Structure 1
């Protein structure tokens, strides 16, 4: 049975959450295939022409220099329209402006990312901390009572739900068509809780968490 290790990451470098640290993890795991949180339509931008870059693409391209036979598989659904992200940024600005508690939680999160990098992002402490942030976010939205912001939140959560299902479906399909022993999925740490819950119903692949 193929084994795929989940590596929870962030898209922008911050302290020890950086490309070199992620490369070091990949060198330890030696994946034969890396599943990427990018849609097929954006794959060339990140991994061929390099007109777009993020932490993951920088790390993967460095890893490929010494492991050119590693296969890269984009598994995300098509990127939503720009307005989707603009709306979500508007929501978070409102939450940050309204809640001192949320601002403090966000500062702690960034400091832990900076100091501990992937050790933090792949820990239960990160999952618990982000759950606290989400709880405070929902509390603020309920307090504000703005139907527009509530709608933005609902669309955001539903879209991420569909993205996770799409990623798992695409990974499963690839595993049905190809033989390999070791793989890795690079995915944002915000997906940790809901994604690991979905994996409980997955039997084709032996999933593991980064330790």
Structure 2
């Protein structure tokens, strides 16, 4: 039910965000960095990490409801913050070119005002939680840091957008642990998360 509501909410929020003016936050980092086109490495790392975590989830299917719940919560939090925090894009933003989105939504103008907080960074941090303990989690954490740094280097987000994202990912993960349905012993009361 929540997924259906999100399917209608997300386009509406993005349509409203396209039209409104925003503020320019204090930015101590971007003026000192060249704006680079890093879309290919960003999405290579992101999709590879998604694939890694998907393989891990196949081995831990009881975690899937929590994963879906956490992603829905993260998208909801992002829609709320984007709706509440109007920011103009960085002046030297280099448009992020997602090959999957380009296949699905070919001629649509890229959205550049969906800034606070960084959804790509937040998703990468959420993948760290979902990867489980061990080498996969360390690899996902390194990938999350790499994507966050590349987003800043591409000037896709203000630094505050990227720095705030892990807190929202952690909040979505924490809430999902208390509200996701229990399946196969993995749920709100299960240890080891």
Shorter-normalised TM range: 0.3 to 0.5
Which protein is bigger by CA-based radius of gyration? 1
- TM-score between both structures, scaled by the size of structure 2: 0.36
- TM-score between both structures, scaled by the size of structure 1: 0.34
Question: Which one has a larger percent strand, Structure 1 or Structure 2?
Answer: 1
Higher relative contact order (CA 8 A, sep 6+): 1
